[in-house]
């Protein structure tokens, strides 16, 4: 956590960190730049900066996705999200900022991809690895764009100077994502150039997720299997709930479960994980700088939470009681807490953990076999055992799911999805799972009794985009309902 990419970028230039982080990538792309490995790495580091802003993946992106789930509710200006009828003006402004941040990261990746081959003092091996990292990040960002907006303009190194670009189709965006991540899978090394930088295993994990969203489960299974069989990762050991701090805590600098985490740090300024301030109540003790308690749940009103076994250590680790006028059964989430900070959180954002890969594999193996297998069940049970403080690698009849109890594909997949909901609570992943599975409407109706509007399934193309990009007609090209 102390070694974040932006900070290393500052060290490379021996200059003011805050000044460097505010520098525009166009300035970095000057003709006298990108000639050495150090200069290209500075450009690579710039890709991560817009993703670590409060308006994107430092806080508000995950906050919005979590409120959409069947187990969470939004408060304050996020309360309109509880209606599942689309976005009001405040929340449209938020997603506009996310769009801008994502495309800023894509622009920075495009500059590295375009400029690195022209570098005069960069070895071929270094150039290959640097371009692979930039393509990994570009593919990852487009993956978040396509799941939230569907087809979007495809800006690459080949057209980055072109202002007017139409929306590509969803299939075209996915093709670009697969091309980028496949190139990254080949070009990245087994270890990252810095802590927090992607590896070939990161690319395989994201590819597994991408192929699942494309419903190409055989390819997804193969990618996940390679990560599992690499023996590079293992689940963090847990015997009591607080042991999960060894995975999510603010002082962890890396764990055997980390496949790809977005890194944050309390220092330098503006590099902290601000998601905790949206999660916590002021003076709760979990986040001294304060709290907006933007999202919450309820142990009685919410059937998902009510059905969650309270002996599950993930339940104990995730929730704490906090009343603020909504009843005595109100609970807040404490997965991401930093009890000693005076600035912002030191927690990292776990985009891909080994537990995710095991659960990807479990679902895909069952789908490929058209029914649950002993292998798929074992991968699911590894995660489930850890949740009860057991050794993930040793069968345990007291907690293991039994194959005979889930004989059909649907029964098993539903079990995996439920387990993933418990495992990834507060990580901004579950809503995207429900969208992939096409179960949003039935799940929200069953759990919250609300009919989800079709327009709520996608976010609108921002006015800032079609005001600037004349190839997008706001009347014809906007997402339905907006």
Q: What is the pLDDT of residue 268?
A: 76
Look at residue 474 and tell me if it is in a domain: yes
For residues 93 and 33, membership in a common domain is answered with yes
Strand 330-333 to strand 295-298: parallel, antiparallel, or no bridges (unpaired)? antiparallel
Look at residue 268 and tell me if it is in a domain: no
- Domain count of the fold of the chain: 3
Look at residue 43 and tell me if it is in a domain: yes
DSSP reduced 3-state for 4: coil
Q: How far apart are CA 378 and CA 186, in angstroms?
A: 29
For residues 239 and 309, membership in a common domain is answered with no
For residues 418 and 473, membership in a common domain is answered with no
pLDDT higher than threshold 70 for residue 271: yes
Expressed as residue numbers, the domain containing 140 is 1-188+461-482
For residues 31 and 69, membership in a common domain is answered with yes
Tell me the pLDDT tens digit for each residue of 405-440.
Answer: 999 999 999 999 999 999 999 999 999 999 999 999
- Cis geometry, peptide bond prior to residue 162 (ω within 30 degrees of 0): no
Percent of the residues in the chain that have a pLDDT greater than 70, as a whole number:
93
Strand 319-321 to strand 330-333: parallel, antiparallel, or no bridges (unpaired)? antiparallel
Q: What is the pLDDT of residue 267?
A: 84
Residue 155's domain is classified under what CATH number?
A: 1.25.40.890
For residues 105 and 182, membership in a common domain is answered with yes
Q: What is the pLDDT of residue 224?
A: 98
For residues 251 and 296, membership in a common domain is answered with no
CA 354 to chain centre: 14
Look at residue 240 and tell me if it is in a domain: yes
For residues 254 and 311, membership in a common domain is answered with no
The CA–CA distances, whole Å, from 429 to 13, 311, 417 equal 36, 23, 11
pLDDT higher than threshold 70 for residue 99: yes
Q: How far apart are CA 154 and CA 388, in angstroms?
A: 45
∠ CA 257-259-260, rounded to 5°? 125
Look at residue 338 and tell me if it is in a domain: no
Confidence of residue 33 (pLDDT cuts 50, 70, 90): confident
Confidence of residue 462 (pLDDT cuts 50, 70, 90): very high
Q: What is the pLDDT of residue 28?
A: 47
For residues 234 and 136, membership in a common domain is answered with no
Q: How far apart are CA 147 and CA 64, in angstroms?
A: 14
Residue 407's domain is classified under what CATH number?
A: 1.25.40.900
End-to-end CA separation in angstroms for the chain:
40
For residues 93 and 172, membership in a common domain is answered with yes
Residues 6+ apart with CB under 8 A from 195: 3, 4, 253, 254, 263
Look at residue 456 and tell me if it is in a domain: no
For residues 435 and 468, membership in a common domain is answered with no
Look at residue 118 and tell me if it is in a domain: yes
Q: What is the pLDDT of residue 31?
A: 57
Q: Where are the alpha helices (DSSP H) in 234-353?
A: 245-248, 275-279, 303-307, 313-318
For residues 177 and 215, membership in a common domain is answered with no
Q: How far apart are CA 361 and CA 375, in angstroms?
A: 9
Look at residue 343 and tell me if it is in a domain: no
Residues 6+ apart with CB under 8 A from 410: none
For residues 214 and 161, membership in a common domain is answered with no
């Amino acid at each position: 956590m102390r070694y974040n990419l932006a900070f290393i970028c500052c060290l490379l230039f021996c200059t003011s960190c805050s000044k460097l982080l505010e520098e525009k990538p166009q300035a970095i792309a000057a003709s006298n730049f990108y000639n050495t490995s150090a200069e290209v790495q500075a450009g690579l580091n710039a890709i991560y900066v817009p993703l670590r802003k409060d308006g994107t993946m430092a806080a508000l992106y995950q906050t919005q996705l979590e409120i959409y789930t069947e187990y969470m509710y939004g408060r304050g200006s996020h309360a309109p999200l509880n209606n599942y009828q689309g976005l009001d003006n405040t929340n449209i402004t938020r997603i506009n900022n996310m769009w801008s941040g994502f495309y800023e990261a894509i622009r920075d990746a495009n500059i590295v991809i375009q400029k690195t081959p022209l570098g005069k003092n960069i070895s071929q091996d270094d150039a290959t690895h640097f371009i692979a990292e930039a393509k990994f990040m570009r593919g990852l960002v487009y993956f978040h764009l396509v799941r939230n907006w569907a087809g979007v303009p495809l800006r690459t190194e080949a057209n980055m100077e072109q202002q007017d670009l139409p929306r590509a189709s969803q299939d075209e965006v996915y093709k670009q994502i697969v091309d980028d991540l496949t190139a990254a899978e080949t070009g990245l090394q087994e270890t990252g150039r810095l802590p927090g930088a992607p590896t070939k295993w990161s690319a395989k994990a994201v590819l597994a997720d991408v192929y699942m969203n494309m419903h190409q489960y055989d390819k997804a299974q193969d990618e996940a299997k390679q990560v599992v069989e690499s023996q590079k990762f293992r689940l963090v050991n847990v015997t009591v709930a607080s042991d999960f701090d060894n995975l999510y805590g603010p002082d962890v600098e890396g764990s055997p479960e980390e496949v790809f985490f977005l890194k944050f740090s309390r220092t330098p300024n503006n590099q902290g994980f601000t998601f905790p301030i949206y999660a916590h109540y002021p003076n709760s003790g979990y986040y001294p700088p304060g709290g907006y308690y933007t999202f919450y749940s309820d142990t009685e009103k919410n059937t998902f939470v009510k059905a969650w076994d309270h002996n599950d250590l993930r339940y104990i680790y995730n929730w704490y009681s906090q009343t603020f006028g909504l009843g005595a059964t109100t609970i807040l989430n404490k997965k991401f807490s930093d009890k000693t900070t005076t600035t912002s959180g030191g927690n990292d954002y776990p985009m891909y953990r080994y537990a995710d890969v095991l659960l990807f594999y479990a679902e895909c193996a069952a789908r490929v076999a058209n029914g649950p297998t002993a292998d798929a069940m074992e991968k699911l049970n590894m995660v489930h055992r850890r949740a009860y403080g057991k050794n993930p690698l040793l069968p345990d009849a007291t907690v293991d799911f039994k194959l005979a109890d889930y004989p059909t594909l649907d029964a098993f997949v539903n079990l995996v999805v439920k387990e993933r909901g418990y495992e990834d609570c507060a990580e901004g992943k579950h809503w995207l799972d429900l969208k992939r599975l096409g179960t949003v409407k039935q799940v929200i109706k069953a759990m919250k009794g609300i009919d989800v509007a079709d327009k709520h399934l996608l976010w609108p193309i921002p006015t800032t985009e079609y005001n600037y990009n004349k190839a997008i007609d706001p009347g014809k090209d906007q997402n339905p309902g907006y």
